[in-house]
Structures are given as structure tokens and as C-alpha cells.
Structure 1
Amino acid sequence: MEAFVKSEIKNGIGTITFFHPQSNSMPGTQLRNLAAEIEKMGKDDSAKVIVLKSEGDKTFCAGASFDELISIKDIGTGLKFFTGFALVINAMRKAPKFIIGRIQGKAVGGGVGIASSADYSFATESASIKLSELAVGIGPFVVGPAVERKVGTSAFCQLTINATEWQTAQWAKEKSLYAEVFPTIEEMDKGIDTLAAKLASSNPEAMAMLKKIMWEGTENWDTLLTERAAMSGKLVLSEFTVNAINKFKQKA
């Protein structure tokens, strides 16, 4: 299967699904397509609530595409790539509808950032998380504000510093990244369907107002996340990072 981003709206529930054959990793084009789809659905009055999900059952999102990272040869290209994650996070932040995250499997790096940007995330017990950026010579600069907002500074520092260790879905729930954790995908989907149906029949104006209040203090993220993208774009050119990414690719 080729990478895709697709969406549908049924009974007031908008569903956005993304897929990439390499563990749902994110090339720049995929990031921009996802951001555009979220923005589009946010403006569609027929969608009262949005469910964000990925295909497959093992990995929700493996973060940045290593193939694309290793191909970056200048600061401008690096900035453009990492700005893709900024676009997705900001689209989720500014969408005037609640976004339910369906985290059915592992989330790494940028995947943790996307999960953190959902307004309410459901997960399975296999949905472990890891911020692996430091292990490849960069840092979770772009996704950092979204992750820190959700789990707090202490937990964010733990994830960032211990970059090679997985944290369990239960740990993520204890830190408020996940609202609910289920033993199976089937049980999780029942929970998502129930909440989405309730929200689809709720007052859209009230939900839009609540969403705005919930994200107060993030109004500078359009600028902040672009500045953070420039930091990652510079570091990805370093010899240390190039060597580290190549080692990771050889292991994969």
C-alpha cells in the first residue's frame, strides 16, 4: 500500500486516517497533507467532532521519516521538513472541534507530539511511547510544547532525556497523555464510538468555545514551533546526527 491521508464524515463524526508503509512514519508531504485535511475538516460544518487515527495495529506513528531526514542537505530543507510537524500540531490546536486521538499502537517522536495534540486520546495497552530524538542527535523541539502541555515538565524531561527507553501506555495515562487505555483495539473503538456520538450531538458553539479556552496560552505557537523547527533543521545537518540516523537505519 502507498502512503495516504483520507477522511470521511458520518453522522456528524469526521474521521481522518493516515498511513505510511514504514510504520506510519511521516515524510514532509504526508505531514502537509495531514495538516491540510485537519484544517479542512475543522471548517466543515457537517463534522461536529474529529477522530484522528492511523492504519494498522502495531504502530500509531513512528515519527519523522528517516529516509527523508538523511536526505536533508541544507538548512532551508531542514526547516521545511520540521515545519511539517508544526503545521499538524497547529492545525489540531486551532481546529474549532474536539479531536479524539485513536492511539492503537506505539508512538515515537513526532507521533507522541500528534497524540499529545489531540484533545482526548484513547489508547490500547500496547501503545507505548518514546521521544527518541536525542538518540539521533536532535531533540523534540517542535513537538515539545505539545507534549509538555499534556504531561507536565517533569514527565517531558524524563521522556526527552531517557530517549531510548519506552514508557508504557499505563505510564502515559498516569501522566494524562492518554485519557483511557483498553486491553484491545475492539474495546477501545467501542469507547471512541460512544464518546464521538455524544459529542456529535452536543452544542458545536459550546464545544468551539471550550476548545479555545482549553488551548489558552498557546497563541504564540505559530511562531514558536517554526523557531523550534529551525533548531531541528540545523542539527539534522550535523555529522553526529547523520551518523546516528544511518546507524538507526541499519538496525531497522
Structure 2
Amino acid sequence: MEKPYVNITTEKGIATIEFFHPAHNSLPGDLLAKLANTITEAGNNDEVKVIILKSGGDRTFCAGASFNELININDPETGKVFFSGFANVINAMRKCPKFIIGRIQGKTVGGGVGVASATDFCMATKFAAIKLSELNVGIGPFVVGPAVERKLGLSAMSQIAIDANSFYEAEWARQKGLYNQVFDTLEALDEAVQNFAENLCNYNHEAMKEMKKVFWSGTEDWDELLAERAVISGRLVLSDFTKEMLKRFE
């Protein structure tokens, strides 16, 4: 079985960051920390003009939180630290001075929807349905909620958060503003992502940096906000309801 990883390759101004986990690209704490650090480092690298964020494999983009780690949370502080992992990735993407292009090849769930929502321009295949499943296990999309709401709007975000059992098709996500473009095949997606990234490299980098600041204005309190949300999730994951639900995944 292939080992989990976060890799970065840089070529002609394009940094491609890829994460992978054999459990449907779910993200345990160590992978989340490495992903956040890698995004920050790419943002600070003068050779990088634009970033592509993708996951390994050709099916699931990201299954969200690692259930193995969720099951083993036994105190509020551990819970807060775990859920802060997604907060740190979203905040790293928010603060990164380079545009981040999301390449979403397949289904994405929970925290994965938050990661996709934190990209600046998101491209997907028609297989990239989304689901906010947190309510199913007795918690909620508290940490990723602000990023998802920023892209989908409160109405659509609350719809998928409450309807926690349903996948919403990629075309629905495109109509609501999460995906900017949807493609029929993985090959078409990869070609479009690469061409788009190459084109961005030709633009004024200072202009793109200033544009990103404008696009993310109003989110300056997210360091504190997402930390507060992580506390809520860390508390709820200890509830009897959630503990019982998580046993089904053991």
C-alpha cells in the first residue's frame, strides 16, 4: 500500500502541491500540518507565481478527516488540536499571496469541501460530487463552514450541512460557485488546469497578489474564528452520540 505524502514540484513558476492518503485521501493531523506548511512555503517562494493544489489517485479528491484519529480523541484539547489542522490549512491558503488553483478529480467530503472552497479558482470533473457529512457523526462543519459559506453562500452551505447524507453533483457545485469549470474527463481537467496556470504566470504578479487580498477581505478574523470553531468540534466529538457513531467505523 502506498504511503501517505505531501509533495511539491515547481516548474516554470508553477508549484504543484499534491497530497495523498490510501484511505480515500483522508487527512490525519500530520498530513494536515505538512500541507499547511507546504502551502505557506510555496507562497513565500519568489520563484512560484501560481499554485496548483491536487490530490493523488484518480477517484476521491479528499474524504475529509481521518476517522482513525477521530475515534482516538479522548479529551477536548486533543480534539481542538485535531480540528485546528483543517483550520491551519484553510488559513494558509487564505494568507498565501499566490492564486491557488484547485484540481478536484472526484468526490470530496467534509473537510475536503473546505479545502476546495479555500482555493481561488476551482476546476473539477463531473464526478466531483460534494457532501458535508459531519452531522452524521454528531458534529458539524464548524471549521470549514466559513470557507464553504464564502463560496456557496449561507443558503447552499446550510442546505448541504443539514442534508448530511446526500452527495450534491458537481454541476450543482458549479452553479453555486464552488467550481468554476467542470469537465467530462480527468484528461480534460488536467489539460485545462495546466493551461490556466501557465496563462496566469504571464500576468503581473503584484496585481494578482493585490487582487487576492481584495478577494479575501473580510476574513481577517479567521485565525480566531476557526480556532473557536475547532473548540466546538473538539467538544462535540467527545459526546456519547458521536462516540457511538464512530464505533461503526472501527
TM range (shorter): over 0.9
Tell me which amino acid in the other structure corresponds to 1:37.
T
Other-structure match for 1:30: 31
Matched pairs, number: 249
* 3-state DSSP of counterpart to 2:122: strand
Deviation, structure 1 residue 245: 1.6
* 2:136 paired with 1:135: yes
* 3-state DSSP of counterpart to 1:22: coil
Distance in 2 between residues matched to 1:45 and 1:167, nearest whole Å: 38
* 3-state DSSP of counterpart to 1:92: helix
Distance in 2 between residues matched to 1:99 and 1:164, nearest whole Å: 29
Other-structure match for 1:7: 8
Distance in 2 between residues matched to 1:245 and 1:61, nearest whole Å: 19
Other-structure match for 2:80: 79
Tell me which amino acid in the other structure corresponds to 1:120.
F
Tell me which amino acid in the other structure corresponds to 1:104.
Q
User: 4+ runs of 1 displaced by more than 3 Å?
Assistant: none
* 3-state DSSP of counterpart to 2:148: helix
Deviation, structure 1 residue 209: 0.1
Distance in 2 between residues matched to 1:28 and 1:69, nearest whole Å: 10
* 2:201 paired with 1:200: yes
Other-structure match for 1:116: 117
Query: Unpaired segments of 5 or more residues in structure 2?
Result: none
Tell me which amino acid in the other structure corresponds to 1:31.
L
Deviation, structure 1 residue 201: 1.5
* 3-state DSSP of counterpart to 1:46: coil
Distance in 1 between residues matched to 2:15 and 2:28, nearest whole Å: 24
Distance in 1 between residues matched to 2:67 and 2:184, nearest whole Å: 31
Distance in 2 between residues matched to 1:196 and 1:246, nearest whole Å: 43
* 3-state DSSP of counterpart to 1:41: helix
Aligned pairs for 1:101-250 (under 5 A) are 101-247=102-248, 249=249
Between 1:194-203 and 1:171-180, the stretch displaced more is 194-203
Query: Unpaired segments of 5 or more residues in structure 1?
Result: none
Q: Please, what TM-score do these two structures have when normalized by structure 1?
A: 0.98
Distance in 2 between residues matched to 1:245 and 1:95, nearest whole Å: 34
* 3-state DSSP of counterpart to 1:59: coil
Distance in 2 between residues matched to 1:22 and 1:246, nearest whole Å: 17
Distance in 1 between residues matched to 2:8 and 2:93, nearest whole Å: 15
Deviation, structure 1 residue 244: 1.0
Distance in 2 between residues matched to 1:202 and 1:45, nearest whole Å: 15
Distance in 2 between residues matched to 1:67 and 1:238, nearest whole Å: 17
Distance in 2 between residues matched to 1:155 and 1:225, nearest whole Å: 20
Tell me which amino acid in the other structure corresponds to 2:152.
V
Deviation, structure 1 residue 29: 0.6
Between 1:206-215 and 1:237-246, the stretch displaced more is 237-246
Taking only the aligned residue pairs, the percentage that are identical comes to: 57
Distance in 1 between residues matched to 2:149 and 2:65, nearest whole Å: 19
